Structure 1
Amino acid sequence: MVIEKSSAEQSTYRRILSQLDFAVECTTHLVASELDDYDLILCDTGTMTVDPWPFPSTDCLVAIIAPDDCTMRNHLETLHIRFIERPLDLASLHAVVSGK
């Protein structure tokens, strides 16, 4: 798990992820070839890099933790990628996973 955030935010993320019953990864480097290993990947666009670009469509649910003005949002929303607004909490994460 790679999360480049404050220790308080890091512990919040870990607590939330520990309550999930499906494969999940947190990353700041989104690599398309690794998506098959997970059901859900959480990305933070504050420091995120994407490989390759443009990003291909995927069956893995990628949830981007991002503000509304994320520069990649328009492109990523055309793929199987959803957005979660900050702050991340378990309710918003379950809403994304369930498609609400």
Structure 2
Amino acid sequence: MPKRILQGPVVSNKGDKTVVVRIDRSFKHPLLKKVVRRSKKYHAHDESNQYNVGDTVLIRECPPKSKLKRWEVVTAEEAAAASEARSESEQATVN
């Protein structure tokens, strides 16, 4: 099963090798039919402490690294490689 990848801004980087990322989602309320916005904060592992507050990052699921950390920050190179592999697999299924 593929790992989920989410994108959002860093809201805190005070922990060592940890960033807190806010993920926003919006959905239509089933009864009121209004668009409702909700956000959730995820603790993600940042091995090199390179991300600061305000940076937009990609995070993906990983095995637990601590009590709160179940996500890790995806670097730009890893994100590019994953999207490239995904597009190649889509082309293979079309042909």
Q: With structure 2 as the length reference, what TM-score do the two structures score?
A: 0.26
- Between Structure 1 and Structure 2, the one with more helix by share is 1
Query: Which structure has the higher relative contact order (CA within 8 Å, separation 6+)?
Result: 2
Select the structure that is richer in strand.
2
TM-score after normalising by structure 1: 0.26
Structure (1 or 2) with the larger CA radius of gyration: 2
